[in-house]
Chains A and B, each alone.
Chain A
Amino acid sequence: MTVGETRKATYTIPIGPIHPALKEPVRLDLTIDGEEVVGVDVALGHVHRGIEWLGMHRNNPIQSLYLAERICGICNVCHPFAFAMAVEQAAGITPPERAEYIRTIIAEMERIHSHLLWAGVAAHEIGFDTIFYLAWRVREDIMDVMEYVTGNRITKGMFQIGGVRRDITAEQLPRIRQSLEYYKSIFGQLKRVFLDDRTIRMRTKNVGILKREDALKLLTCGPTGRASGVAKDVRQDQAYAAYADLDIKAITPDILTGTVVGDVYDRIIVRLLEVKQSIEIIEQCIEKMPSGPILAQPKTAALLNALTKAEGEGIGRAEAPRGEVIHYVRLEAGRETVSTWKVRAPTYTNLMAMPTLLIGGQIADVPIAFASIDPCFSCTNRAVIVDRKTNKKFLLTDKELRELSIEKTRKLKC
């Protein structure tokens, strides 16, 4: 190379894997050319805890149910939900009808809290902390209701194989209804804040686009897929729990805007409308809830005995706030543990779409585009920039990366 001649150099920025404030560690290796992202690689496994192995070698299925609840702190309903359904199918246990309705109500409460939590995180990523505070303030009410109904804010222990642990009594209904009314009353305000705000529109429209065909090819599920126009929702598609009795329709952004772009803005629309849908589902469930027992086999020892003798296999599928959770369980007669247990969480397949989502965008858009799939979002702790020519490393902290994002918001506003 002669003097004065320049060569385009690309840089690799690893982001992650550890950050205490975020949900799940993952590492992104970004190859960048100037400001533009040209390559993305995802490295996983930083919190692989061997939960399936424990379920297959150490714990009996009843213990595994509580372990399943601890797979994820935020969606701690969908995993025991799917696991319980898989074991019930394998062992031929039918949960009582009332339990199906209670399960549905708890799962929908979780969706409301999870989507509001995400809304706050997303606002924080673009440096709009006023909305972050607002969303998390609003989320507290549903957390209080969950504590009131189940006894705990998270890891509620509501799910049992063959039913639920606690009933929802008539005295509890007014408090639940009060909370639903509260969310209905502020829904218009939330919608205005998230969909009409100029800054949010500027930062989210046409950012992180995932086209319908790519979403289908890369097996994207949940709100990320629905925002790209894939009307796939387990609650709508396959009969499980009380959803089978209700008429549920998967929410795609064209309901509101008439078109599907598949960008971050569309993902906000889908999640926001799903909060409303969840309120309606809870209301319908309360109205239609049949009376009766809440557990198929209340005696744990007898249940464990039946599970040890059972032979069979089953799959449990539940629509978590982030997408479809699927558990496969195989039981062998005479074996105390399950003989095979496979868990798939929605982020597992949604991460496949990450390169498509980020390539062509700017580094400053990475936090919001990555957060937009709600990937039990983790990292962005610390980024090391390696200059390939000099092999010199720069440390870019999570704070600095977020600063870049905030800076972009400021520039756009001026």
Chain B
Amino acid sequence: MEILSPQAIVKSFKTTLGGGLIDSKISEREIAVKKNLFITIWINVKKEAFRKAVEHICQLQEYPHLAIISSSDLGDSVELIYHFTIYYGNHLQEISLGLRVRLPKKDLKIPTVTDLIPGAVFTERETQEMIGVEVVGIPDNRRLFLPEDFPEGVYPWRTDEKGLPNDMFRVLPGRKPK
């Protein structure tokens, strides 16, 4: 397996995805005394190019490590970031790669990646229940953390009307409700 420089990785995304790549950013931080670099690459892709981007990451690294999917409610859309790490197992060669995809609120669907990365089931289940993004083709459709009696259609991480309703908050004695 060839280890590419961060610039070459970004370039390879450009060649593979073409117009599917919206933008990219390489962030580097100098660490401690020797000033070695902590490198993070942020790749922003269109929804249609998402699967292809994940397949490309699997080309860069056999068994890429998908740490977690983070999700943010941005008002009219939901942004998912798939936090990958590649080139692990080599001294100070590892790169964190955030694959960013934005989904409009009226079509909150994303294809599953569990066929490429079987260990992604937990984080996809969490994404479904917490932010209300439907993962199409997920092998296990159950909830992960929320209890069975939690109401349907309420997603704790949303900030719109589908987020937690006020009557679900318990106000502690002596505190004013916010």
Interface residues of A (CB under 8 A from B): 44-45, 48, 50, 52-53, 56, 58, 89, 94, 97, 100-101, 216-221, 230-232, 234, 236-242, 244-245, 247-250, 288, 290, 313-315, 317, 324, 326, 328, 330, 339-340, 342, 344, 348-349, 351-352
Can you list, as one digit per residue, whether each of B28-44 has a CB less than 8 Å from chain A (1) or not (0)? 01111110111110100
Q: Given the complex, which residues of A lie within 8 Å of B164, measured CB to CB?
A: 53
Q: Given the complex, which residues of A lie within 8 Å of B42, measured CB to CB?
A: 313
Cβ-closest 7 pairs across A and B: A219-B119, A237-B94, A45-B145, A342-B70, A239-B36, A216-B63, A344-B68
Q: Given the complex, which residues of A lie within 8 Å of B38, measured CB to CB?
A: 89, 238-240, 244
| CB–CB A352/B83 < 8 A | no
B9 on the interface (CB 8 Å rule)? Answer: no
User: Considering the chains assembled together, what is the distance between the CA atoms of A348 and B27 in angstroms?
Assistant: 27
| CB–CB B122/A348 < 8 A | yes
| CB–CB B68/A342 < 8 A | yes
Q: How near does chain A come to B87, taking the closest CB pair, in angstroms? A: 8
User: Considering the chains assembled together, what is the distance between the CA atoms of A94 and B83 in angstroms?
Assistant: 23
Q: How near does chain A come to B121, taking the closest CB pair, in angstroms? A: 7
B156 on the interface (CB 8 Å rule)? Answer: yes
Main SS class of interface, A: mixed
Please name 5 further chain A to chain B contacts, defined as beta carbons within 8 Å, in addition to the given A241-B31, A340-B71, A351-B122, sorted by A numbering.
A239-B31, A244-B31, A244-B34, A315-B40, A328-B81
Can you list, as one digit per residue, whether each of B49-65 has a CB less than 8 Å from chain A (1) or not (0)? 00000000000001101
Known: A45-B147, A48-B145. A231 touches B72 (CB 8 A): no
User: Considering the chains assembled together, what is the distance between the CA atoms of A240 and B92 in angstroms?
Assistant: 9
Give the residues from 5 to 26 in chain B that come closer than 8 angstroms, CB to CB, to chain A: none
| CB–CB B40/A241 < 8 A | no
User: Considering the chains assembled together, what is the distance between the CA atoms of A346 and B39 in angstroms?
Assistant: 21
With an 8 Å Cβ cutoff, the count of chain B residues facing the other chain is: 52
Known: A241-B32, A244-B34. A89 touches B27 (CB 8 A): yes
| CB–CB B89/A250 < 8 A | yes
User: Considering the chains assembled together, what is the distance between the CA atoms of A330 and B72 in angstroms?
Assistant: 9
User: Which residue in chain B gives the minimum CB-CB distance to A89?
Assistant: B29
A-B contact count (CB 8 A): 135
Q: Given the complex, which residues of A lie within 8 Å of B37, measured CB to CB?
A: 239
Q: How near does chain A come to B14, taking the closest CB pair, in angstroms? A: 22
User: Considering the chains assembled together, what is the distance between the CA atoms of A413 and B121 in angstroms?
Assistant: 41
| CB–CB B65/A232 < 8 A | yes
Q: Given the complex, which residues of B lie within 8 Å of A328, measured CB to CB?
A: 68, 70, 81, 83
Q: Given the complex, which residues of B lie within 8 Å of A344, measured CB to CB?
A: 67-68, 83, 123
B85 on the interface (CB 8 Å rule)? Answer: yes
User: Considering the chains assembled together, what is the distance between the CA atoms of A97 and B31 in angstroms?
Assistant: 8
User: Considering the chains assembled together, what is the distance between the CA atoms of A246 and B102 in angstroms?
Assistant: 39
B120 on the interface (CB 8 Å rule)? Answer: yes
| CB–CB A238/B85 < 8 A | yes
| CB–CB A245/B91 < 8 A | no
Known: A230-B89, A239-B92, A240-B38. A48 touches B146 (CB 8 A): yes
Q: Given the complex, which residues of A lie within 8 Å of B118, measured CB to CB?
A: 217-218
The listed residue (B93, B96, B143) touching A317 by CB distance below 8 A is B96
User: Considering the chains assembled together, what is the distance between the CA atoms of A193 and B64 in angstroms?
Assistant: 37
Q: Given the complex, which residues of B lie within 8 Å of A53, measured CB to CB?
A: 156-157, 164
A selection of 19 A-B contacts at a CB cut-off of 8 Å is A100-B32, A217-B119, A232-B65, A237-B88, A239-B32, A241-B31, A248-B91, A317-B67, A324-B67, A326-B83, A339-B72, A342-B68, A342-B70, A342-B71, A344-B67, A344-B123, A348-B122, A351-B122, A352-B121
User: Considering the chains assembled together, what is the distance between the CA atoms of A79 and B93 in angstroms?
Assistant: 23
